[in-house]
């Protein structure tokens, strides 16, 4: 599962980079949006499964906290996105996403020992 998340986040980061470089072309935006959706669409499921496996007996509490974190990230992203839009324009979004996706790749790569433990799914 960790490998799938690494691949997904890496392609997601590459699509953000491509949108930053070629976002002025409608074809690039269309192709980027499709690949973006395909690569990041399963992220929530991967991350919830990894969290439940790592939390073990505390999975109920951990998954409840996961919902709070996702909702907080959506709210924070809206606020920061509004500030970024006002300060730098829409062209800054792909670069911000690229930086965040690369950070996600680094964290996932570093979670070799403590994250993504195989769990019981029976």
39 pLDDT above the threshold of 70:
yes
122 pLDDT above the threshold of 70:
no
* pLDDT for position 68: 96
> 5 pLDDT band (50/70/90 cuts)?
confident
Alpha-carbon distances of 109 from 86, 96, 106, 115, 116, rounded to whole Å: 33, 20, 5, 10, 10
Instruction: With both helix axes pointing from N to C terminus, report the angle between 59-88 and 43-55 in degrees, rounded to the nearest 10.
Output: 140
Q: What is the pTM of this model?
A: 0.83
| Tokens read off for 15 | 């699509």
Q: State in Å, rounded, how far the first CA of the chain is from the last one.
A: 17
Quote the CA–CA distance of 116 and 49 in Å, as a whole number: 8
Task: Parse the chain into domains and list their residue ranges.
Answer: 2-110
- The 10s digit of each residue's pLDDT in 67-84 is 999 999 999 999 999 999
* pLDDT for position 85: 97
- The 10s digit of each residue's pLDDT in 45-75 is 888 888 888 888 999 999 999 999 999 999 9
């Amino acid at each position: 599962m960790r490998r799938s998340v690494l691949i997904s986040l890496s392609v997601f980061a590459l699509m953000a980079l491509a949108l930053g470089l070629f976002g002025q072309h409608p074809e690039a935006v269309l192709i980027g949006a499709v690949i973006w959706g395909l690569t990041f669409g399963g992220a929530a499921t991967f991350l919830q499964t990894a969290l439940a496996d790592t939390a073990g007996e505390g999975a109920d509490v951990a998954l409840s906290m996961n919902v709070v974190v996702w909702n907080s990230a959506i709210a924070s992203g809206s606020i920061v996105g509004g500030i970024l839009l006002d300060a730098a324009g829409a062209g800054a979004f792909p670069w911000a996403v690229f930086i965040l996706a690369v950070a996600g790749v680094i964290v996932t790569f570093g979670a070799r020992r403590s994250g993504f433990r195989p769990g019981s799914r029976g």
